[in-house]
Amino acid sequence: MTKLVILFIASIFISSAFALQLSAEDQWKDFKLTHRKLYSKVEERFRFRVFKNNLALAQKYQEADPQAKYGVTQFSDMTPEEFKYKYLGYVKANKVSGPRNYYKPNLADIPASWDWTKKGAVTPVKDQGMCGSCWAFSTTQNIEGVHFLKHNELAVLSEQQLVDCDKINQGCNGGEMQVAMQWLADHGGLATEKDYPYTGSDDECKFTPSMMKVNVTGYLNISTNETEIAKSLVELGPLSIGVVADPWQFYIAGIANPWFCSGELDHGVLLVGYGHGMGLISEADYWLVKNSWGSWWGESGYIRLVRGQGVCGMNQDVSTATIA
C-alpha cells in the first residue's frame, strides 16, 4: 500500500474522530460554510432538523458498514426522499424477456486489476446537478469510452441532448441506459458537450444531424455474473450499470459493502475498473465506479464497491453501447 493511500486512510480516521467531538450545531455551521448554503429563517429550522436526522442515519450506516466512511456530504440537508427524487433518476423500462443482445466475453482470464481511468478512456467527473439525468450521464460516458477504444480519441459528449431529445426516457425525471442507447441509434447519434452543453433542466431539442460526433448503432447487455462483467469491462471498455444508491447520500470514502443497499435499482453510473485495495479497516476486492455528482463527492467523484457480492445491485443491469 502506498504512502499516499495510508495518509488518506489516516486522514479519514482523524476527521471522523474530530467530527464526533463536534456538536450537531458546530457541524451544521461547518456544513453551511463549506457548501455555501443560505436559507431563510423558516427553512433553516427545517433543514437543521433534517441535518440532525441525517447525522444519525449516517452513523447507522457507519456502524453497519465499517469498511467505508459515511458522514456529512453536500447532500446532508436533504431528506432521503428529496435526495432520491432529485439525484437518483434510473427508471427501468419494460423489456422483452430473455437475454436480448447478450454479449459473451472472449477472455479466458482477466488481469488482477484494471482501471480505464489510467488508460485514457474516461473523461473528468461531471455533475448532473438537481436533475434526475444519471441515466444520460451513464449512457454518454459509456459511449465516450467506447469511442476512445475504437477511434483513439477521448471526446466529451452531450448528456443534455438525451435529456432534451430522447422522449422515450423522461429527461430530469429519469430514464434507462439501454433505452437511450437504442434511441441514439435510431435518431442520428450523439453530439459533443461543446456543441450541446449541459444545463441540468428539461428543454426543447436543439440537435441537428450536423452535430453528430459518434454514430451509435445499438447496445449489448452484459451478464449478471461478476466474472463475466470483469471480462466484458476489460474487452469493451467502461460499462453502464444500474445500482441502488440511496445510502450513497452519505458516502465519503472506503470500500462500501452496505448490506442495507437493497431494493429497486435507482441510479445509473459508470463501471470503470476493479482491483484489490485498502478499505477503512482491511483490504478487499473492489469495483471502481464513476458517479455524476461532482468531484467533491466520495473519492474524487468515485466510489469503490466490494466485488463479488452483487453489492447495491451493481450486477443486475449492465450494458454498453455499440458504435460505428
Q: Catalytic amino acids?
A: 134, 267, 291
What three-state secondary structure class fits 288? strand
Alpha carbon distance 253, 71 (integer Å):
10
Q: How far is CA 124 from CA 99, 155, 255, 260, in A?
A: 32, 11, 21, 30
189 neighbors 150 (Cβ within 8 angstroms): no
C-alpha–C-alpha distance, residues 246 and 237, integer Å: 26
Return the H-helix or E-strand segment holding 197.
none
* Main-chain phi, psi angles of 317, to 5 degrees: -145, 90
Between strands 68-70 and 283-290, the pairing is unpaired
Q: Where are the alpha helices (DSSP H) in 174-249?
A: 177-186, 226-236
Q: At a CB cut-off of 8 Å and minimum separation 6, what does 117 contact? A: 272, 273, 288, 290
Beta strand spans in 120-211 (E):
190-191
Grid cell locating 307: 466485488
Q: Rounded to whole angstroms, how far apart are CA atoms 104 and 124? A: 30
